[in-house]
Amino acid sequence: MGIRSTPGKGSVFFAVLPRVARAMPEAAPAPAPLAVGPPGAPTILVIEDEATDRAWLQQTLSAAGYAVAVAATGAEGLARCRERPFDAITLDLLLPDMNGSEVLEAIRAGGPNRDVPVIVATVVAERAAVRSFPVHDFLPKPVQAETLLASLTRAGITPDGSRKILVVDDDPHALKLMQTTLAQLGFQPICTADAESGLRAAAQERLAAVVLDLLMPGMDGFTFLERLRRTATGRRTPVIVWTVKDLSADERRRLKGSAQAVVQKGQGGTAALLAQLQTYVSAARE
């Protein structure tokens, strides 16, 4: 039990009661719906079982320009996290099927959202419940809209449609094509004609993804990727290799652990490349 009181504003009383659920056969989680939002919008996963709070979070974030996906249980939230990366997650600690700290532990254990900012939004007033796992913020309910949005801003996640995609390619025609196409989709393309310039850009910008050619003068794409993965900011940035090179089995094995996908230039135009970006970057055209 607890109370929070603000002079001149009011008080909030709460009690956390144990919840006993009847044993039911475990069902497979439903397929994840597409997050609704404008092109280029950062995507937020809301894990919240209380329908009113879930609807409020979805409405507040959508109105602010974010794309929002929701989950009503811990299992559903973890299923969403396995399927795609998100830009941030809001997490309630009191869920019907598992404790929120268990959900957080599973997220931090691995997968595409291992390092994503998590904002805990809950009536549980004790931060010790999640002290063992890194969280970006801890917001006691009832959460104020300005508090939630300010927390996302501090995490560098703003709904301004400026998700940045770095394109590293020495072909000026390819750079021009990606500059136009990505801008039309609501991204902010950053185009560089050599790997050295690409590494400098990657160190200075918060990138949503990298589109990388392999055949470049000087430093090639393989070396660029190896150096990018040794940096703190580029360790887990999605990289889509886009190349005309006919890769050998050894080269594919070399890329397997570092690149999310390999797309051949000239096969299906840019559609295959954009499909891979849609998979790995939560900013696809709805």
Domain ranges of the chain: 37-154, 163-280
Which pLDDT value is given to residue 130? 61
Tokens matching residue 246: 């006919």
* Count of C-beta atoms within a 10 Å radius of residue 28: 7
Query: Strand pairing partners for 190?
Result: 166
Say if residues 138 and 127 touch (Cβ distance below 8 Å).
Answer: yes
Same fold, 37-154 and 163-280: yes
Q: Which residues are within 8 A (CB) of 183 and not within 5 positions of it... i.e. 6 or more apart?
A: 189
Which pLDDT value is given to residue 162? 61
Which pLDDT value is given to residue 34? 47
Nearest to 107 by CA among 124, 85, 128, 126: 85
Which pLDDT value is given to residue 16? 67
- Pairing between strand 239-243 and 187-192? unpaired
User: What is the distance between the alpha carbons of residues 252 and 242, in angstroms, rounded to a whole number?
Assistant: 13
Which pLDDT value is given to residue 267? 64
Helix, coil or strand: residue 77:
helix
Which pLDDT value is given to residue 236? 83
CATH class of 163-280: alpha beta
- What is the CATH topology of the domain spanning 37-154? Rossmann fold (3.40.50)
pTM exceeds 0.75 for this model: no
Low-confidence ranges of the chain (pLDDT < 50): 20-34, 283-286
